[in-house]
Each structure stands twice: as structure tokens, then as C-alpha cells.
Chain A
Amino acid sequence: MIKPDTLEKLKILAGAAKYDVSCASSGSNRPNSGSGLGNAAPWGICHSFTEDGRCVSLLKIMMTNHCQYDCAYCINRKTNDVPRTAFTVDELVSLTIEFYRRNYIEGLFLSSGVVKSPDFTMGMMTQVAKKLRTEERYNGYIHLKSIPGASPELVREAGLYADRLSVNIEIASENNLKLLAPQKDYESIFSPMNSIRQGILANTEDKRKFHSTPKFTPAGQSTQLIVGATPDSDQQILSLATLLYQKQQLKRVYYSGYIPVNDYDQRLPALTAPPLVRENRLYQSDWLMRFYHFKADELVNETHPNLDLEVDPKLSYALRNPWLFPIDINKADYEMILRIPGIGVKSAKMIVMGRQYGRLNSYQLQKMGVVMKRAQYFITCNELSSLTINEMKPEYVKKALTEKPVKTKKEKHPGQLKLFTEEHFTK
């Protein structure tokens, strides 16, 4: 099935798909049906990492990069002069299977430019997923991008074969979206999102009645927001994200620092580098909302509409609310311990379990993995307390924690900060 032009097509269509940041392969549980190929591991596995430090878990590829839309932020917009090509259903099926068998990937993430009509495009993508599941007996992960404007019936059908469906919102406010992508509006984005949500709800309902109900997007749906292409504030972005997690029951919201792919377009800001620090701060906030029980308005609000780029959002929260501290490690609730800078979910759990056996001191905290350099200003434990945030004043704590030791060699690539290292592999 591999033809001489496959290599060329792969390069073009992978290059066209790379700006979509989602790569998660977690959240699904699709055991191998006896003697078929593959199983989707519920925790997700990264198989490689690109030189920009992003995980490669799925074969992230476009069906075609021909597109009838003209969205200003997109590399594949109609008016761009880029090489265009398309894969056939068989080619994609064969590539997925061969890569999967060699343990290169966890599965397929298929997206597409819009050709002929949203329904036609969605139908082609569904065919790939259907063929993989029914003819190849493949149980690996499949993530399909739902095309804005596709009919609910087609989206439902896609959900029967895919582990995850996603519709990208891209821009955090509707008027800015309309400005940059005249052919799109929130209606065309939220209607497929709604039908996926309803599909998932109906499926859970049916599962209660009939054990044999087929799976419907077991890994849920996700979306992506582009950061820095429009003047939308972090407050707008994070409150939209909260709404999506709560009302739409999304599994993940991804944030993508805007990369000026079409720098000639006057509607877009002129950037010298993508806003990687801001993107990182948004991910940290997202993490705080999902795993640390923070609310969006505790991180950003009317008086602080944007995240502090100098310090992480948890430290920033602590500095703005010094009266909550110091927190007594040996007495405070789990919820409060989670709010201490320098303490993560793992160490917070260890603290709550470990303190049942006796009062904890700072040496023990350090052994558990607490970053004492940060935490020291916000806690008291079984020792005479050192200087905490109240004696030191927030501005001095901030200074003490942000001043870097003088480096002799200037770093070549200050670029992207690391996210939460270990969670990446295990969640």
C-alpha cells in the first residue's frame, strides 16, 4: 500500500497538522478483543518527543490540507500558497497499522481541511476510523477532529469508532473569531460540541440498561484555544475554560501559543516569538483548576485580568492572599495544604497520611519531595517557625523566589518552561 509519493504526502500533511497541540492518548479503555491488534491504555503513553519538547503519542495527520476556509491564524488557509495534497482512506489505514505494530504510536489523530462540504469531509474521516475498527480489528486510540458545521448524524457515527472527538474553538471570544475567521461562528463550533456531549450522556444512560451498548467516545472531547492572536485576556480564556469543563464536560482544554504563520495578515499582532511563557502559565492554571481545586476567579479576576508572567499562578495567588498563611502542616485540611506553593498533589497526600503517625518536621517534608525553598515562607511545622510571608512581606518573598543566581554562560534557548514533569507520563 506504500506508494512512492507517500513520503512526500506524509511530510506535507504532518507539517500541516503539527500546530494542533493535543496529543493525549489517555482516558480510554478499549481492551484487545481477543486476537485483534492493540489496546488503548487508560493512562496514555508518549512514544517520542520532538525537538521542541512536545510529546509524540499519536500519528497526528491531516486527511487533506486543501481547505475552503480562510481563517487568518491558520497555515492551511485557502489563500496561502503552500503545497497541497491528500491521503486516501487506505493509505491512512495502512500507515496507522504499520506504525502501531512497530510501537511508534498509540494511535491516530486525524484532522482535515474542509473540502466540498463539512459533511463530505467528516464522512471521509469517519471512513478511516470505521475501516480501522471493523476491517483491521484495531483497538488502539483514535482521535477525530469534528469539522465545524458537520451534521449531528455524522458526528454521532464518528463517535462510535473514535475514542475522542474534538472541535477547536481557537479564539476565546466570538467577535474576535468572526474577525479572523469570517466563515465560522460560535454556533458552528458549539453545535457539534453539544451533540457529542448529548451522545456521551445518552450512551452512559444506555450502558446502565444494556451491558452490550457499544462505546461512544469513551475518552470524551477536548478543544484548543489559541493564545496571543487576539487581545483576549487570561480572565476571558480561563472563564471560558471553566465553562467548558463544567457545562460541556470537556476532558481537556489545550492552549496553543500563537505562532505567526501568516505574518502578512494585518488583523494579527506582530510577534517576534510565540508567547510561550503565557501559554505555560495558562497550563499551570488549568492544572490548578483540575487537580488543586482552584477556581478561575481565584487565579484571575477584575483586578488581575492577566496571569503574572514572573511567578507561577499558585505562588501569585499566595502572594496576593498572605492572610491565609502560614498553614500548619500538622493540622490543616488537605484542601489548604494543596494551596501551599512548593507542595504538589503527591506530597500533600503523603503529608496527610504521614502525620497520623506523629508530627512532621521540615526534614521529613523535604524527604517527601516538598520544595522547601518555596514552601518555607508559607508553612509552620513541628519546629520554631522561620520567617514567613507575614513577617517578610509578599514583595520580599517574591524577590527572594524570582532572583536567579548569576549564570556564567547565557542560555541559548530560554524558550518553553517545563510543565509538570512526572504527571506527563503517568496521567
Chain B
Amino acid sequence: MNTWIYDKTFEGFLTLVFECFELKSIPDKIIDEQNQGLFGYSHKIITNDTKAERVWKGIHKKVSEKTALMLYHAFLSEKPEVELWMLTFIRRVFGTDLNVEADFGKTDVVELYKLRQKVVREAQRILMFVRFQKTVDGIYYASFDPQYNVLPLAIDHFEKRFADQKWVIYDTRRNYGFFYDLYQTTEIHFIDSQIDFTTGNVDASVLADGEQQFQELWKSYFDAMCIKERINPKLHKQFLPKRFWKYLPEKQGKQ
């Protein structure tokens, strides 16, 4: 068994690709150095930005921007098989002068395409289900815990939409977030905060005047929109999975 380990970063993965070609060796298993457990390994990757940069540039020379982005998005899924599929695909890309991007008959292409869909959908769910709460200092705050590490993909949308208000979106699962101060967006990490990470709620003492009223108005509006003759809990949960309910004012306290 030819097992390689790396640090689970995108640069780390690109370094791994570089060394594949350098050592003329192909791993049949790729694992994360954090979770290597009892398994041994035959080669350890030390992330190297120069090598990573060369591979990334090389990929851009061979495939369209869209496909390069697909690789990055699929990587964010953190799925155990993703590295091997990506490696298979990248080796094929480098091994031929033909365009192999749309070869959907190959398992790796179709699987990477599907993973990209999942990741992009999760990022869209941030746009859909983020709910801001206004605080006394005029900052709109929202917690979120996406399945994949996709918060950075959503930031551009919020910068454009809420250009005239200060806001924070915080990934409670990975403990980092972004703060927009009307001029720029910066990455932040809370050390101590007035936010309850299990519910995502801001402590009532620091909420702006009228905030709870608006949440109440929204909740009443939501309830009033339902047509009781058409009630369909299965469809409801399919579109609005339960894992998002905790952050939605309209679903507070619902089973």
C-alpha cells in the first residue's frame, strides 16, 4: 500500500500532485495527518507554496477557469475520496494535449462535478438562511455552521448586498467569521463573546431596540403565509432541512 499523508490544505494537495510527478509514484491512499490513526504511511508531504503555485498555474494552462474552479470547490467538500479523484483527473489532464474536461463517462469527472454541485449548494444555503440580528452598536450579526467550509464563497454576495450596513457572519463550527465595517471585510476569531454558540443567538442585553419586535413580525408573517389546505411537512423539511432551523426566527421552538 502506497499511503501518502498531507496537511489537508489546498496548497498541501497541490504540493502532493507536484511530488507525484517528481517522484514518478502514485499513491493509492491519501490521508490527513491529523487523523492518520494507527496507519503507517510511506510518504509525507510538506506543503510548499512554490510547488503548489506551479501546479495551479499548470492546471490553468490546460483547463478552463470553470474546471479549475470546479476542482477547488470539490476539494472544499472534504470528502475522503476527493483527493484520489482529483489526482486521477489532473494526471489525465497533464498526460494529454486533448481536452478531457467534459469526459463525463469517467467516474472521476462525474463525481467531481457532483461534489462541486454539493459544495456550491451549501454556499447558496448561506445566502438563503443567514438571519441577521441587529445589536446595540448597529452591527448586524449572524451565526452559521455550514457542512462544508464554504463561508468564504458567500462573502462577496453579502458585501455587495449590504454595502451600507456593518455586519458579521460567523462559522460556529469552525470558529471563524468575517466582519464588514463599511470599507472592507476582515477575518475574525471570537475569544469571548456574547453569543450562544448552540443557538447562534446574541445575548438579549446587547440587541438593538426593536430587534425582537422585527423577529416577532417576521415569525407572524411566516405563519400567516401558510395555506393550511396544502400543508405538507415532508416537502417542507426537504426544502428547509432541520439542521438550519435553530438559526431561523420563524422556526424557533418548532419540532
Contact = CB atoms under 8 A, between A and B. Distances in A.
Interface in B59-93: none
A250 interface: no
Interface in B93-114: 100, 102-107, 110-111, 113-114
A59 B221 contact: yes
A353 interface: yes
B160 interface: yes
A125 interface: no
B231 A14 contact: no
A410 interface: no
A101 B211 CA distance: 12
A313 interface: no
Given A35-B163, A51-B232, A415-B231, A360 B222 contact: no
A358 B221 CA distance: 54
A159 to B, nearest CB: 24
Contact of B134 (A51, A102, A351): A102
A49 B127 CA distance: 14
B195 interface: no
A55 B239 CA distance: 8
B63 to A, nearest CB: 14
Contact of A51 (B124, B127, B233): B233
Contacts of B235: 52-53, 415-416, 418
Nearest to B121: A425
Contacts of A276: 230
Contacts of A14: 220-221, 224-225
Q: Is the interface of B mostly helix, strand, loop or mixed?
A: helix
Contacts of A45: 124, 127-128
Which of A19, A104, A415: most chain B Cβ within 10 A? A104
Interface string A1-40: 0100011001100110011000000000001101111110
Contacts of B164: 35-37, 137
Interface residues of B, number: 57
Contacts of A49: 236, 239-240
Given A31-B160, A103-B142, A413 B103 contact: no
A185 to B, nearest CB: 28
A415 B127 CA distance: 29
Interface in B217-255: 217-218, 220-222, 224-236, 238-240, 248, 250
Contact of B105 (A55, A354, A426): A354
A71 interface: no
Which of B102, B131, B142, B218 neighbours the largest number of chain A CB atoms within 10 Å of its CB? Answer: B218
Contact of B240 (A48, A98, A367): A48
Nearest to A14: B224
B163 A32 contact: yes
Contacts of A369: 114
Contact of A350 (B110, B220, B248): B110
Interface in A340-360: 350-351, 353-358, 360
Given A45-B127, A259-B229, A51 B165 contact: no
B229 A98 contact: no
A54 to B, nearest CB: 8
Given A46-B239, A354-B103, 10 more contacts: A18-B227, A19-B227, A31-B160, A36-B163, A41-B157, A48-B128, A137-B164, A350-B110, A368-B104, A426-B124
